[in-house]
């Protein structure tokens, strides 16, 4: 959801996962700022990559880490298609907590100095009551 008098959709597509990296290929959207306040922001356009990473135990299966690491490829694809847009937000259910990821800080996307991981791994982001 977004405010239509502040943002407009320039492009949107599902990532073409020809390599079979994802159980659910990410969605990509390019938004452009509108209105009188648009020049006040550092970015006039930005990309949002929406994802739901497959949760598999990271102790014996690297599926979750591999999908998270391949989000860098989705970002590269999006910025190649839209070279004037360099800023992006990767949002969604990363499943990067619990036992799904064996070495959270070892993931290439996390370790990349060009990225900021906004939610620490120790934060409980579940929305369902625990029984």
Summarised one tens digit per residue, pLDDT across range 60-93 is 678 888 999 999 999 999 999 999 998 999 999 8
50 and 92 Cβ atoms separated by less than 8 Å: yes
State the pLDDT at residue 130.
57
State the pLDDT at residue 109.
83
Mean pLDDT of 2-29: 94
94 and 68 Cβ atoms separated by less than 8 Å: yes
Residues in Cβ contact with 85 at an 8 Å cutoff, skipping those fewer than 6 apart: 30, 43, 45, 46, 47, 78, 79
Beta strands in the chain (DSSP E): 7-14, 27-33, 45-52, 88-93
Which domains are seen in the chain, by residue range? 7-111 (3.60.10.10)
- pTM, full prediction: 0.85
């Amino acid at each position: 959801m977004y405010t239509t008098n502040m943002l407009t959709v320039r492009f949107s597509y599902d990532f073409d996962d020809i390599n079979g990296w994802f159980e659910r290929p990410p969605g990509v959207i390019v938004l452009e700022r509108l209105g009188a306040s648009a020049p006040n922001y550092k970015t006039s356009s930005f990309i949002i990559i929406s994802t739901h990473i497959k949760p598999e135990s990271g102790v014996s299966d690297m599926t979750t880490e591999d999908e998270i690491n391949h989000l860098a490829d989705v970002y590269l694809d999006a910025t190649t298609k839209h070279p004037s847009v360099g800023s992006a937000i990767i949002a969604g259910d990363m499943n990067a907590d619990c036992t799904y990821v064996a070495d959270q800080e070892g993931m290439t996307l996390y370790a990349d100095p060009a990225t900021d991981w906004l939610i620490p791994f120790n934060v409980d982001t579940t929305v369902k009551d625990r029984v």
